[in-house]
Chains A and B, each alone.
Chain A
Amino acid sequence: MNRLPRRMAFRLLKTLPLAAALPVLIAADTPTGGEPGVRAFVLTNIFFAAPEEEGTCTPLADGGVESFYNSLPADEQAAFADPAKRRQLEHLMKERLGFKATRMPPGAENDPDAIRQAAAAAGFPAGKGRTAFANKRISYDSCTDPLDFMQLAKGYRHYDGKIAEGANLDGKHKRNDFRSAAGEPGIDNQVWRALGCTKAFRDAGDRKAARQVLMSARAPTLIELRGVDDLRNDPDVTVNVMAGSDALARDARGGPLLWSSFATDPDPALRATTKGRIVDGVLTTDPVDMRLNYKEQIIDAPRDLRGARISMTLKPDGSVDGRIYGYYTLSSLYASIEQMSQDGASASGISCPGVYKAIHDLADGYPDRKTGRKTAISSALGFVGVPAFAVPGERIAVTGKGAGL
């Protein structure tokens, strides 16, 4: 059984820290070239925006391993109390709960029959398990099949604060809405309620930390404004959200290189267009469905956001800082959790069953026509970005991703 190297799995949500804070633009913020009236930005990080609220989440939500530990009898707990014993504890969890993993046979990545055979040969329960670890493994564990390991959701907690980032997406004031930091009621951000007491998400969403991290560096998202007459005030601009095919380049200080050119992926599914307006340097847009690349180490789980609207501040130094308010589909959201793989979730202190249950319980948008069950959950994503150019790109091959059995 292959073990995910600890080093790799450990920081799946916090990646590639910058050496310095966001750069100060010393070039003029008007580019020399490019089409007139067009300004583009490459996003260096997209994260779940965390509110600043004191006194919440004491205690924090238990991760899967913590939940398992708490379920052990006292004498066994004593044996694994020492943090140095963490690896053995995870090992015990695997054994006790019956997790399974086997290497993906070479050439079988897109062959469901071969995958099923390999799983069966490795003793997986019939019909269970999924591909994992960037298609290099076939696994059966609390992340691939959370419903089979719901006991690990014990000790999971929802966010217990009153304040959250976000917008009033449904126009209603409901009992379970949040209040914004400025006091505005009716804020819809159930995904924060679901994830906000898990340390990994709290850390990633912290304002300061979010500026230091380069996320999805190999496939960043670009926001392009067209028809801009005045960057401070313009009642009508067109906003394109696009997938970059080129990696973020770093400058000599370790920050993102400004004014780089990014080829954009021509796949229409990765492109969204909407209308917006700029008032006193803040852009807001109409809602639109969008799919944003999220490729980070072994994770390749694009974010499907429905009815998403952008609010973006254009700062004097040329950089941007904004939010995307919309409904994050449960399937795309859970895909990013599942792709962490059990080792990643254990290392990050996440309970896959806990998250799974929470997002499904709290989902509040886009009911399925047949079942009536909500398929998406209100969210507020934060982002930061720097000036860039979007240039036409070549068609790139679509690679296979994780699939069920």
Chain B
Amino acid sequence: MKPRTILLAGAAALTAASMALAMTREGRADDAGTVTPDGSVRRLTEAQYRRVVADVFGQDIRVVGRFEPDKRVDGLVAVGSSMVSVTASGFDQYEGIARGIAEQVVDKDHRATLVGCEPAAGDTEGQACVSRFFAKVGPRLYRRAMAPAEIARFTAATLEAGRTLGDFHAGLATGLTAMLSSPEFLFRFERPAANGKLGGYARASRISFLLWNAPPDATLMEAAAAGTLDTPQGLATQVDRLMASPRFEDGMRAFFNDFLLLDDLDTLAKDSVLFPQFNANVAGLLKEQTLRTVVDLLVTNKGDYRDLFTTRRIAMHRALGPIYTVPVAGRDWTMHEFPEGDPRTGLLTHAGMLALHSHPGRTSPTLRGKAIQEALLCRKIPAPPANVSFAVVQDVNNPTLKTTRARLKAHLDDEECATCHRVTDPIGLALEQFDGVGQHRVTERGEPIDASGEFGGAAFTDAVALGKLFHDNADVSSCVVRTAWRYATGREPRAGDEPPIARLQAAFPKVGYRMTDLMRAIALSITLDPVPRAPASRQQVAIRTGVPPS
């Protein structure tokens, strides 16, 4: 091939890219909101990326670099993963992270176990070894079977690099870097099988990422290859196997982490003068606390989801003792039980949840209420209106408004503000007995705090009572079903998805609101998804690309 050809090929690629750009440029700003992602191309989240690397190459391989931020859409990073791509600087970072991983894989400490072969006397460039290496790791990194032609391409490129660098292992690292930068590693692709349904490998990935937040393990990959995932019994066997494993806890943690937006605790900052008890270490522990409490109730004890709002059991760590003002013996995590009648009851009173949706210097009933409505009740709160006059919020005649409730009263007096604030503020005001970092208090600036209000037509006196109302509220339990479905599929429900979701919601009470049962039902149902868009005939796709339909 001559230089000119490269120029043309480059130009062609550039043209195609420009066309795509032109398409987006001409798009109207107001109609794009209706584009629903397929869920069939999903970028790995940072946690999933790390999980794949750990599963394939071992826990001690360090993954270092800055990941392109995950995007949260309608409350879930899982849905956002279907909408993001990789920017130029993002790809730069991915390639850098990949290089770091590859260099460790081939270094002296790891090559014996992770590569396990070398150039031999009759094969000084090590072609056989390279081929074997990619045949081994390729399918695990791509989460599907690989065609011999694909392996051959990576092998050839690797040998080429080895020649350039004059070193077998350096060449292998370079080739592995390319594989770790490939779209089929960075994204989850779901291709249709011959019958138009989801292929075996796609099913394996769906249930594995749902239940373990991890790529399919060897057993699951074998089941996919053998076609057993295409039968209900085969699928159920694998789902039950995955749920019986300790790794199911990882999957549940990942779901609740996304559902409850707990990752934001990692970057939460509070005013150090007003809240000296809070620091980055405490924030991390608060996240861990909520996750452990959820797992203890819903996984270990296969409990009722609704009990999350009324349980007095909470995971406790000594460094969190000061926030909760409870003594904590021992240096590890323990399960602590607050006494009967204690104001700390249920998820809504977890300090992490309370601190997350507050300002750095004080509480925010509106933010807390909004977060709870959106995450736990699946209600969308619209944005504040344009050009709202905030003059109405300040009661000029009485500047000494001691409590937050008093200050927010103006939200409810003005009809324009009240439509939304009537929805958000009462829930948030119920939590006012917990300050900006979630510490309990009974007065604010000397005045007793009134935490009463109304929810779902019933009155409550404080957060404990609100928790009971949440326990009994049908919207709370159906919301988690819907959210779990969206998390599993990575997309918003379309018209055709509503009946299955409704069935799941109807079944939830019948299984005692057990999250384990719900996850099992979802795992079995999402694999029945037909692939949304059928492109050119699958046969043609297979011939053109040499990639077997999965």
Give residues in A with beta carbon < 8 Å to B.
23, 26-28, 31-34, 249, 251-253, 255, 257-261, 263, 389-392
Contacts and interface: CB of A to CB of B under 8 A. Distances in A.
Given A32-B342, A252-B276, A261-B318, 6 more contacts: A33-B324, A33-B338, A34-B327, A249-B319, A263-B329, A390-B327
Contacts of B272: 252-253
18 contacts: A26-B435, A26-B441, A27-B440, A28-B441, A28-B442, A32-B344, A33-B338, A252-B275, A252-B276, A253-B276, A257-B276, A258-B322, A260-B318, A260-B321, A261-B327, A389-B326, A390-B327, A391-B328
B451 to A, nearest CB: 15
Contacts of B330: 391
A392 B327 CA distance: 10
Contacts of A32: 324-326, 338, 342-344, 440
Interface string B315-349: 00011011011111110000010100011100000
A389 B329 CA distance: 9
Contacts of B277: 251-252, 257-258
Q: How large is the interface on B (under 10, 10 to 19, 20 to 34, 35 or more residues)?
A: 20 to 34
B440 A389 contact: no
A319 B379 CA distance: 46
A38 B207 CA distance: 52
A391 B439 contact: no
A261 B321 contact: yes
Ranked 9 nearest A-B pairs via Cβ:
A33-B326, A389-B327, A251-B276, A252-B272, A391-B329, A31-B325, A253-B276, A259-B322, A32-B325
Contact of B441 (A27, A253, A391, A392): A27
Given A32-B342, A260-B321, A252 B329 contact: no
A263 B327 CA distance: 10
Nearest to A263: B329
Which of the listed residues B272, B277, B440 has the most CB atoms from chain A within 10 Å of its own CB? B277
A392 B325 contact: no
Contacts of B274: 26
A172 B69 CA distance: 76
A257 B342 CA distance: 24
Contacts of A31: 325-327
Which of the listed residues A33, A251, A260, A391 has the most CB atoms from chain B within 10 Å of its own CB? A33
Contacts of B324: 32-33
Given A32-B342, A261-B329, A391-B327, A27 B439 contact: yes
Which of the listed residues B274, B322, B439, B440 has the most CB atoms from chain A within 10 Å of its own CB? B322
Which of the listed residues A252, A257, A258 has the most CB atoms from chain B within 10 Å of its own CB? A252
B440 A28 contact: yes
A252 B275 CA distance: 8
A252 B278 contact: yes
A258 B439 CA distance: 12
A150 B536 CA distance: 103
B273 interface: yes
Given A260-B321, A389-B321, A34 B326 contact: yes
Nearest to B329: A391
A27 B343 CA distance: 14
B369 to A, nearest CB: 23
B105 to A, nearest CB: 41
A28 B322 CA distance: 12
B444 to A, nearest CB: 10
A390 B322 CA distance: 13
A260 B322 CA distance: 5
B273 A259 contact: no
Contacts, number: 73
A32 B342 CA distance: 8
Contact of A33 (B273, B327, B435, B441): B327
Interface of B: 272-279, 318-319, 321-322, 324-330, 336, 338, 342-344, 435, 439-442
Contacts of A390: 327
Contacts of B279: 251-252
Nearest to A387: B325
Nearest to B441: A28
A86 B435 CA distance: 54
Given A26-B435, A27-B439, A28-B442, A33 B276 contact: no
B273 A261 contact: no
Contacts of B326: 31-34, 389
Contacts of A33: 324-327, 336, 338
B252 to A, nearest CB: 28
Contacts of A255: 276
Which of the listed residues B321, B329, B439 has the most CB atoms from chain A within 10 Å of its own CB? B321
A239 B435 CA distance: 33
Contacts of A251: 276-277, 279
Nearest to B273: A253
Contacts of B318: 260-261
Contacts of B321: 259-261, 389
Contacts of B273: 253
A252 B282 CA distance: 11
A261 to B, nearest CB: 5
A170 B196 CA distance: 98
B318 to A, nearest CB: 5
A253 B274 CA distance: 9
B223 to A, nearest CB: 48
B183 to A, nearest CB: 44
A240 to B, nearest CB: 14
B446 to A, nearest CB: 12
Nearest to B318: A261
A339 B134 CA distance: 65
Contacts of A257: 276-277, 322
A193 B344 CA distance: 53
Which of the listed residues B278, B325, B344 has the most CB atoms from chain A within 10 Å of its own CB? B325
Contacts of A261: 318, 321, 327-329
B398 to A, nearest CB: 25
Contacts of B338: 32-33
Which of the listed residues A26, A255, A261, A263 has the most CB atoms from chain B within 10 Å of its own CB? A261
A260 B277 CA distance: 10
B80 to A, nearest CB: 32
Nearest to B316: A33
Nearest to A254: B276
Contacts of B319: 249
Contact of B325 (A252, A253, A259, A263): A259
A392 B440 contact: no
A28 B446 CA distance: 11
Contacts of B336: 33
Nearest to A29: B325
Contacts of B327: 31, 33-34, 261, 389-391
A208 B442 CA distance: 32
A226 to B, nearest CB: 14
Contacts of A27: 325, 439-441
Nearest to A390: B327
Nearest to B272: A252
A172 B477 CA distance: 76
Contacts of A252: 272, 275-279
Which of the listed residues B274, B319, B328, B329 has the most CB atoms from chain A within 10 Å of its own CB? B329
A253 B272 CA distance: 6
Contacts of A34: 326-327
B248 to A, nearest CB: 32
Nearest to B343: A32
Contacts of B343: 32
A391 B326 CA distance: 11
B35 to A, nearest CB: 45
A26 B439 CA distance: 9
Contacts of B441: 26-28
Nearest to B282: A252
A309 to B, nearest CB: 27
Nearest to B275: A252
A28 B443 CA distance: 9
B269 to A, nearest CB: 10
A257 B322 CA distance: 7
